[in-house]
Amino acid sequence: MSEMLRYLPAFHDVRGASVLVVGAGTVGTRKIEALLAGGARITVVAKVFSAVVEERAAHGDLMVLRGAFHPDQMEGAEFIFAATPDRTLNRRISAEARRRRIPVNVADSPEECTFLLPAVVREEEFTVAISTGGRHPGAAKALREFLEEYRAEISVRLERGRRRKRIAARPGKVYIVGAGPGDPDLLTVRALGLLRSADVVIYDYLVPQEILSLASGKAAKICYARRGRTAGHGAVLKQNAIHEAMVRLAREGKSVVRLKSGDPLVFGRGGEEAEHLSRKEIPFEIVPGITAALGCAAAAAIPLTHRERSSSVTFVAGHETDEKGKSAVDWGLLPKDGTLAIYMGVGRVAAIADDLTAAGFSPDTAFAIVENGSRPEQRVVRGILSDLSRIALNSGIRSPAILFVGRTAAALPYESTEERSDESVAQGV
Ligand code: SAH
């Protein structure tokens, strides 16, 4: 390859340039079309012209010189393309062009070129030029096709980036933000933008490290709640400490993100926090997140509603109230023809199964437990209500896990292999 080899990043660089193309067969025609699209002024030398080029010539889009190539035709050309089927002729054109210091490109012969044309993907915001130095045109083509296929996704990402940049957490304000079930990709654009720009992040223990790491490196990160039991006096203290911290930091002029797992208003005490902030006249905003029921249902392909199998979905808290022994839920009132999504219930699945059965749920109603939904360590265990406590115990299900009950919780008829192995967990116990 020539030392003076240059790349033309894109054809729009040839706008208005005088270009000589020798050869008007398949290859020549392709180059001519691209050059015309780039706005070049073209002269074509050839003995035989393709129909397309003939038509272009008839339209006055280009000039044609019929007959054999002669070096004098190079006069005034700014770029030369040799695209004849005759290799010797191509080599001669290249030599003549180089002698005149006119950049030359010879089709399929990088060593005769002083510039190459990369494959180009052109979008509104960017132009990507792909080149393999002429050695692997197939690879360049594959890469271009790949980029073209993902064009929509790239645009979405660009748009997301633009939106995110516009989002900035304001000083003196508290943002009560839902972080979703755990997969960082399930954050909203707004949540991510606020997280990146906040001075302080007060987070729940359920929010995974991958999400926290998206916060600005300069942000203070505070976790008040600890993993474990949240009922009783300890939880009240913790909650008060969070309330006080939010108010204090906002009054200091900090932008505060109060980051909660799932959605802040679903079993998340977001309501209490908002009430407290409003009482203290601190400006706040609530940013929704994907609640565990939605994230886990999607992850386990559980249709929460279904035209034939469920016409309602109910989010239920599975834990007890502080008054010992009394469930917070009136199980008898729950619809039996819908889907139940029971949060915080893994610790008392046996009691829940009893409550449901006593409330009239059939013992063969399907259930699914999704543990660590949307996270890499996600597990799904299925069965029927009468086996719930045994299966949950034997598979060692731990928090965070959500329990779905209803006909929709059964595996889909076209279950994936992943779910088959889940079921073998359930059957093997
Ligand atoms: N505000 C949260 C719920 C907090 S209560 C939301 O909207 O999702 C905590 C309960 O949520 C857990 O006990 C569990 O039942 C459920 N949960 C949260 N994240 C979960 C996950 N990744 N997988 C399964 N269950 C989850």
CATH number at residue 331: 3.30.950.10
3-state DSSP: the chain helix, strand, coil percent, rounded to 5? 40, 20, 40
Asked if residue 318 has its Cβ within 6 Å of ligand 1, the reply is no
The residue among 257, 290, 323 that closes a domain is 290
Residue 51 structural domain: 2-117
Distance CA 286, CA 174 (A): 9
Q: Which of 207, 343, 374, 403 to mutate to test the pocket of ligand 1 (most atoms within 8 A of CB)?
A: 343
Shortest-distance Cα residue to atom 6 of ligand 1: 262
Asked if residue 296 has its Cβ within 6 Å of ligand 1, the reply is yes
- Which atom of ligand 1 is closest in space to residue 182's alpha carbon? 22
Distance CA 343, CA 362 (A): 21
Find where tokens 């006119």 sit: 102
Q: Say whether both 317 and 271 belong to one domain.
A: no
Q: Say whether both 283 and 360 belong to one domain.
A: no
Q: Say whether both 180 and 297 belong to one domain.
A: no
Q: Which of 267, 367, 380 to mutate to test the pocket of ligand 1 (most atoms within 8 A of CB)?
A: 267
Q: Say whether both 8 and 104 belong to one domain.
A: yes
Name 281's Cβ contacts closer than 8 Å, sequence gap at least 6: none
The token pair at 38 is: 């780039």
Beta-carbon neighbour count of residue 245 at 10 Å? 17
Residue 162 in domain: no
Asked if residue 260 has its Cβ within 6 Å of ligand 1, the reply is yes
Phi-psi region at 63: left, alpha or beta (left = phi > 0; alpha = psi -120 to 50): beta
Running DSSP on this structure, what letter comes out for residue 310? B
Q: Say whether both 262 and 380 belong to one domain.
A: no
pLDDT tens column, 131-183: 887 778 788 888 888 888 888 888 888 887 888 778 999 999 999 999 999 99
Q: Say whether both 423 and 343 belong to one domain.
A: yes
Q: Say whether both 201 and 243 belong to one domain.
A: yes
Question: Residue 414 — pLDDT band, cuts 50, 70, 90?
Answer: low
- Average of per-residue pLDDT values in the chain: 88
CATH number at residue 191: 3.40.1010.10
Ligand 1 centre to CA of 219 (Å) is 25
- What's the rounded mean pLDDT across residues 17-34? 94
Domain count for the chain, please give it: 3
Q: Residues of the chain with pLDDT > 70: what percent?
A: 88
Does pLDDT of 186 surpass 60?
A: yes
Does pLDDT of 9 surpass 60?
A: no
Residue 199's alpha-carbon distances to 173, 221, 234, 273, 388, in angstroms, are 10, 9, 27, 19, 45
pLDDT tens column, 26-63: 999 999 998 998 899 999 999 999 999 999 999 999 99
Asked if residue 402 has its Cβ within 6 Å of ligand 1, the reply is yes
